[in-house]
Structure 1
Amino acid sequence: MSTSSELGIVAMGMAFGERRDVSATAADYVPDPEAVTALGYETYHRAAPGVTAVDLAAEAAREALENADVTVADVDLVVVGNSDVPDYLGWDPSAAVARALGAHGTPTVLFTQACAAWSPALDHAAGAMALSPGVETVLVVLANVMSEAHGNRMDFNGCVASDGAVAAVVRRGHPRLRRLSSAQFTNPDYADLFRIEYGGAAAPLPPPGRGLKDVSPMASVYRHFDRDPKRFEAFMDEITARLADVVEEALSRAGRDRSEVARLIHINDSRQTFRAVADAVGIPLARTNAELARSLGHMGTADQLVCLWRHIEAGELVLGDLVVLTGVASPGMHWFCTVVEV
């Protein structure tokens, strides 16, 4: 039995909410629709009433298993990342996904680091293979369904939130889509940025006369910097600078160079952010997933693998191409990079 912890992605599957037009629906969410359309998004996905993150996760997982020509009985571990408010408190979505798939007895683990959960999820799969020789096939499932009871999908963190899931069947020693390395950085000074004030154990209910989403996360960000434009600008500069740092570190760990990178796949952010990220990392905007982001919206932790698979399906990535998957998780605050060779 192989003891290598090197893994590759065998196949993926995806599931999305209903496609919606940004310009046609922005007025339903914000008083200034032009501010949203200026972000550059054209469409996004919204889950139908009653459709949960677990529902989309299970749908994506079934497609991934079918595409990989394996059954759930072949899976040694299920790793789930959920990037928004869970369906219930005191409840584990990873176990719920396993139940939906019929994976009885298969170990599961859950990651909740918001839109950065994809990277530690892949790291955990690699770590499980390194520690347990019997772990050969892992199902990584990443899902995002925006809770509109807790937040506004068009006025939360400068993105248009979108509902979707992606699943990847990863196998020890698989020669394609190999995970080479990863790197991360956390700045705990920003731990309270973007937090939702009400609904958790500290403040289960909002004060009388207020709702769960009456406190704007962006407003709390501005307050954190004392509404000082220079301090906020320095914060924005730090976001891109830290990202460039983790890209450099991840490439160094893989023994690769930035000049070898064929494509950078970032979270499905606004077009302004993509320009800043491309400049910071030193890669042309056309070699990012900026165009895909316009039609997908920000699917939380699912962004990177959805876009990776879409670029492969479109023939925009070929055997041997080096890809850096990057992300910034606002709650935390975390920076991540994972290096993949197609």
Structure 2
Amino acid sequence: MVTTSPGGAPAPLAVRAAAWHLPEHRVPVGELAEREGLDRERRTVLAGLGIDTVAVDTGLGATAMAERACRGALARAGVAAQDLGALVVVESRAPETLISSEVTRLQARLGADRALAFGVGGLGCVSLGPALLAARGLLAADPDLHHVLVAHASTPATPGRYRHPVTVNGDAGQALLLARTGPVRILDLVQETNGAHWDLFRVDYRDRPWEQWREECRDLPGYSFRLAVETRNRLAALLAGLLKRHGLDRADVAGYASHNLSAGGLRFLEESLDVELLPECRENLARYGHLGPNDVLLNLWTALANRRLAEGDRVVLVNVSPVAAWNLLLVEIGPWESTA
């Protein structure tokens, strides 16, 4: 899935600046409101996820969290919202209202009046991939377009934050200012989906008030075993193909980062790919919980801030969604100044 420029060479794409809105307020998992209504089995699973606290922002909605992250990324790059070429929003799993546009609402709040604005979604955590592909395509197609802002705010789709047996959702906003050059170059992106799992997890909502919304898994054995086997096979094949396409082997990769679902999920990825994930994955999982499409790049930026990676290092970023979808990013670290 390499977008090419008119001359035939791979179109350059890089993260020039990134910012997050991470709520200071964090709720211990043992104090979640829904915990009292869980049976013993579910409480045991919840306690074993490797999540100590979740980030919670009760004062801001999704658009406001995304706006804060966007303003942070623009400020760090010294780019005015009016100068943005495009705004791509990874849409919420449960928008505040139907029919209305979260995308143009964020555009108006930022004052990005000249930007081409649209949304992508439908793939859970992996929805970050289509957003990056869209940004790369826009930059390749229009030489007068210089910056694309990709934004997302992760909030729970239901009143409860625990998603049995998967994870606990936290709140966070993320913004990535994408350009042709920047400290993190996105060299490649590979992605696959399988529609057989399109409704493995779902929330029935039409005939019930919001307070009664519950996310349910229609096939727990299928999630825990059959999808797990497929995920192992898909990711192994995607990684082998990605490295081969760039003439690389495992020794050429300095680190791996993933989305954060649970300690068991991180261990499963390590065993499936025979790799060791950056420790920031487990640290952010324990601190913030699952932040949807925001996880993987937050983990990377945290590792950069900790000076764990150096200029020239290549890193593979792993995203998986139970819809089901799989995504790998190959990035290269350039000259680094703290922009997180």
Q: Compute the TM-score of the two structures, normalised by the length of structure 1.
A: 0.86
In structure 2, the CA distance between the partners of 1:36 and 1:190, relative to structure 1 (3 Å rule), is: same
Q: Is 1:334 aligned to 2:325, yes or no?
A: yes
Question: More deviation in 12-21 or 54-63?
Answer: 12-21
Question: Which residue in 2 is equivalent to 1:88?
Answer: 97
Letter of the 1:89 counterpart:
L
Question: Which residue in 1 is equivalent to 2:53?
Answer: 43
After superposition, where does 1:62-81 map in structure 2 within 5 Å?
A: 62-81=71-90
Contact preservation (8 Å) 2:150, 2:176 = yes
Give, in whole Å, the separation in 2 of the partners of 1:121 and 1:29.
37
Match of 1:126 among 136, 143, 156: 136
Deviations 1:99-145 (A, max 9, x none): 11011131112111221111211111111111222221111112211
After superposition, where does 1:270-281 map in structure 2 within 5 Å?
A: 270-281=262-273
Shift of 1:36: 0.8
Shift of 1:175: 4.7
Shift of 1:15: 0.4
Letter of the 2:175 counterpart:
A
Question: More deviation in 26-35 or 108-117?
Answer: 26-35
Contact preservation (8 Å) 1:82, 1:114 = no
Question: Which residue in 2 is equivalent to 1:8?
Answer: 14
Give, in whole Å, the separation in 1 of the partners of 2:76 and 2:178.
12
Match of 2:119 among 110, 121, 129: 110
Count of aligned positions: 321
Deviations 1:6-26 (A, max 9, x none): 021111111023321123337
Contact preservation (8 Å) 2:70, 2:174 = yes
Q: Is 1:266 aligned to 2:258, yes or no?
A: yes
Contact preservation (8 Å) 1:81, 1:111 = yes
Give, in whole Å, the separation in 1 of the partners of 2:219 and 2:164.
11
Letter of the 2:233 counterpart:
A
Match of 1:142 among 149, 152, 156: 152
Shift of 1:318: 1.6
After superposition, where does 1:132-281 map in structure 2 within 5 Å?
A: 132-149=142-159, 152-156=160-164, 158-172=166-180, 174-198=181-205, 204-206=206-208, 212-214=212-214, 216-218=215-217, 220-222=218-220, 225=222, 232-281=224-273
Shift of 1:280: 1.4
Shift of 1:288: 6.6
In structure 2, the CA distance between the partners of 1:284 and 1:44, relative to structure 1 (3 Å rule), is: same
In structure 2, the CA distance between the partners of 1:85 and 1:42, relative to structure 1 (3 Å rule), is: same
Contact preservation (8 Å) 1:139, 1:168 = yes
Contact preservation (8 Å) 2:280, 2:299 = no
In structure 2, the residue corresponding to 1:117 is in which secondary structure?
helix
Match of 1:308 among 300, 315, 326: 300
Give, in whole Å, the separation in 2 of the partners of 1:123 and 1:321.
22
Q: Is 1:24 aligned to 2:31, yes or no?
A: yes
In structure 2, the CA distance between the partners of 1:193 and 1:22, relative to structure 1 (3 Å rule), is: same
Shift of 1:286: 5.0
Contact preservation (8 Å) 1:30, 1:154 = no
Contact preservation (8 Å) 1:76, 1:135 = yes
Question: Which residue in 1 is equivalent to 2:338?
Answer: none
Give, in whole Å, the separation in 1 of the partners of 2:240 and 2:105.
37
Letter of the 1:241 counterpart:
N
Letter of the 2:53 counterpart:
T
Give, in whole Å, the separation in 1 of the partners of 2:174 and 2:211.
32
In structure 2, the CA distance between the partners of 1:73 and 1:20, relative to structure 1 (3 Å rule), is: same
Letter of the 1:131 counterpart:
A
Give the unaligned 5+ runs of structure 2: 334-340
Give, in whole Å, the separation in 2 of the partners of 1:121 and 1:245.
23
Contact preservation (8 Å) 2:256, 2:278 = no
Question: More deviation in 59-68 or 71-80?
Answer: 71-80
In structure 2, the CA distance between the partners of 1:55 and 1:275, relative to structure 1 (3 Å rule), is: same
Alignment RMSD: 2.4
Give, in whole Å, the separation in 2 of the partners of 1:237 and 1:103.
44
Deviations 1:200-259 (A, max 9, x none): xxxx224xx997425x522x1238x5xxxxx95233222222122222333333443232
